[in-house]
Structure 1
Amino acid sequence: SLSSYGRHDLAYRVAVQTTEPSYGNWVKRGATTLWEDWFGAASLDHIMFGDISAWFYQTLAGINPDPHAPGFRHFVIRPMPVEDLTWVRAWHASPFGVIKVAWRAAADVLHLEITVPPNTTATVVIPSTTARLVQEGGRPAASRVGIRPELSAAGEARFTLEAGTYSFTAPRTPSGETSR
């Protein structure tokens, strides 16, 4: 998929634009399932009752199971803001409780609210210029109780979170985009 190659911006455009080729064009034309091709010339029910909602949760909100710990006892939050979208709010009812993610993007800062249910942990990967500038509750995130800093790649800040509710602010990368 486009997001697998770091093109969340292009995937978002394909989702919302109303010109061909796009999911938005399908909706405009009355589609209620995924079609076999972008133009509606073949099967109009190619993937039985398929949709793109998983992409909204997994990419835009960033709620993902940990592939090494199935069942959401540990999970990964990796939101992928795109330039034209200013906020996202999503939740997932896991076996341990509700996982919540909400973010709001300004030109130079990302505000991120996360709820980690009881008896679980989460790895959060925040798109940011540098991990040391990420704050939680107005203080450096690395110094907060329940937050453990992890080795971070360029353009991101990575932390392990214990159960609780967190409010992060992070400087955004210069373009506002992220890489994966």
Structure 2
Amino acid sequence: TAGDIGFLYVVLALMRNGRADVLFDVLTQTSAPSYGYMLARGATALTETWNANPENSQNHFMLGQAEAWFYAGLGGVRIDMARPATERIRIVPQPVAGVASTSVRYRAIEGEVVCAWEKQADGASLRLRVEIPPGAKATIAVPCSDPARVREGGRPVQRAPGILRVRRAGGRTLVVVGSGRYLFEAPLV
């Protein structure tokens, strides 16, 4: 295992490299080391050690770094304070098998940022709802490699109001938007 110090960097590396599937599997497996193992051993909070030893603390934030992934990876809300204000909000949801939907609200300096996604019944398409606060801009990385298949508000994304720029990068459709509410629909390809 990476231990308490190194685990954050494992989480960040997997998140940044689009390997949410690996992180989800590690967190949910029922053998040690994992959160799933802690739950299987009866834990109701994070334990001090991966093996959930009852001799150690049973309510401990050690190894809690996956919380960052819940917001910035699975939920998709990333705020990069090193970037200019007009470029710091990024929405990069990472849907994984075994999770049907998420909803994240994040209070940024600019205001509340919302990202909620749900897989459709067929499991092959995604509905992504995003809210960007007044005066802000954001880049939304829709998990679909073909911009022509992405829709916003029922229209092709390239022709939807509020869309400032659309391009393909890294197997996703990148959409730059101004403030407002957006509803994207796309196949998970």
Pairing 1:104-143 to 2, within 5 Å after superposition:
104-106=118-120, 107-143=123-159
Please list every run of 5 or more consecutive structure 2 residues that lacks an aligned counterpart in the other structure. Answer: 1-9
CA offsets, 1:68-102, max 9 Å, x none? 42678730000010122111111101222211111
Q: Percent identity?
A: 30
Provide the TM-score with structure 1 as the length reference.
Answer: 0.81
Q: Kindly report structure 1 stretches of 4+ aligned residues shifted beyond 6 Å.
A: 70-73
Q: 2:17 & 2:48 partners in 1: Cα distance?
A: 23
Q: Does 1:148 align with 2:148?
A: no
Match of 1:56 among 54, 60, 70: 70
Deviation at 1:28, TM superposition (A): 3.7
Provide the TM-score with structure 2 as the length reference.
Answer: 0.78
Q: 1:136 & 1:171 partners in 2: Cα distance?
A: 13
Moved more, 140-149 or 53-62: 140-149
Which structure has more RCO (C-alpha within 8 Å, separation ≥ 6)?
1
Q: 1:83 & 1:32 partners in 2: Cα distance?
A: 24
Q: 2:140 & 2:40 partners in 1: Cα distance?
A: 36
Q: Does 1:17 align with 2:33?
A: no
CA contact (8 A) 1:72 1:94 kept: no
Q: How many pairs align?
A: 169
Q: 2:47 & 2:86 partners in 1: Cα distance?
A: 28
CA offsets, 1:119-138, max 9 Å, x none? 11110001103012110011
Q: 1:123 & 1:6 partners in 2: Cα distance?
A: 17
Q: 2:178 & 2:161 partners in 1: Cα distance?
A: 9
Please list every run of 5 or more consecutive structure 1 residues that lacks an aligned counterpart in the other structure. Answer: 174-180
Provide the alpha-carbon RMSD of the alignment. 2.5
Residue of structure 1 in register with 2:45 after alignment: 32
Match of 1:96 among 102, 110, 129: 110
